[in-house]
Amino acid sequence: MDILSQIDRTKVPKHVAIIMDGNGRWAKKQGMARIFGHKNGLKAVRESLEAAGEIGTKAVTLYAFSTENWNRPKLEVDALMSLLVQSLKKELPTFQKNDIKVNAIGRLSQLPEKALKVLNDIIDVTKTNSSLTLTLSLSYGSREEIVNAVKNISKKVVNNEISVEEIDENIINNHLYTFSLPDVDLLIRTSGEQRISNFLLWQIAYAELHFTNVLWPDFRRDDFYKAVVEYQNRERRFGKTSEQIENLNDKN
């Protein structure tokens, strides 16, 4: 049976987040420079988006560049930034054809002016698309996001727009860069590393985690489906007992 037919269309993850890792190692394996690996990651992005669209996942969030990645050699950082500009331009017809709305999270003001402009243009051009929201995490760090949220909430308290007592999970959620997105259901990390690397710490509180040894440039549609099948075979209990979950399923 092919893997796509194993997917239960009534239990599709709404929001899938991906830590696209292993580009450098992929390139090294073939004796190439790291940037060659980054370039070859684009096909994996395309296939993941197609796979998500096919099964009805509404949101895909990709970790493209972290706040810590600024510490890489300047040559690599510069190459990544120009690759971002090129890829965004190149993929625009695909975003339009597949009704993909592009969104971005992170300390975006740190991006080079050119990249920021192309990014904002694409966000604007695709803003009425609605089949899938693609969120690019750029200069993103979850701790930075939380610091930013705390600052903005504090300003509102100082200005008497909200009281300290009113601060709850909802308010914090609404001040994160991801305010418009649902919680992450499934987090995928490629390349065999099993860590979060400062990605969506708040938003993955109850996500199912899927780690695969596949290096990002080799990640294909079926690898995405494999992660979804594994996700569907997990029992998401959200703190309840297995019996409670079974009773709930019986009622549906």
**Interface residues toward ligand IPE, by CB under 6 A:** 19-25, 63-66, 69, 80, 191, 193, 195, 197
Stretch that binds Mg ion, among 19-27, 33-41, 206-214, 235-243 (CB under 5 A): 19-27
What is the tally of helices (H) and strands (E) in the chain?
9, 6
From Mg ion, ligand IPE, none, interface partner of 177 (C-beta below 5 to 8 A by class): none
Pair 201, 143: CB distance under 8 Å:
yes
Enter the tokens of residue 125.
């051009």
Q: Which does 197 bind (CB under 5 to 8 A by kind): Mg ion, ligand IPE, none?
A: ligand IPE
Between residues 124 and 193, which has the closer beta carbon with respect to Mg ion? 193
21 part of the interface to Mg ion, by CB under 5 A: yes
**Is 160 annotated as catalytic?**
no
Return contacts of 110-117, CB within 8 angstroms, 24+ apart.
Answer: 110/70, 110/139, 111/81, 111/138, 111/139, 112/81, 114/81, 114/85, 115/81, 115/84, 115/85
d(Cα 21, Cα 192) in Å, to the nearest integer?
A: 9
21 counts as catalytic: yes
Catalytic residue among 21, 23, 40, 185: 21
- What does the alpha-carbon distance between residue 125 and residue 59 come to, in Å, rounded to a whole number? 18
Please, which residue, 21 or 208, has the CB nearer to Mg ion? 21
At its nearest, how many Å lie between Mg ion and the CB of residue 82?
Answer: 19
The total of other beta-carbon atoms located within 10 Å of residue 131's CB is 13
Task: Return the number of the residue (25 or 58) whose C-beta is nearest Mg ion.
Answer: 25
64 makes contact, choosing from ligand IPE, Mg ion, none, with CB < 5 to 8 Å by partner type, with ligand IPE
Catalytic residues: 21, 69
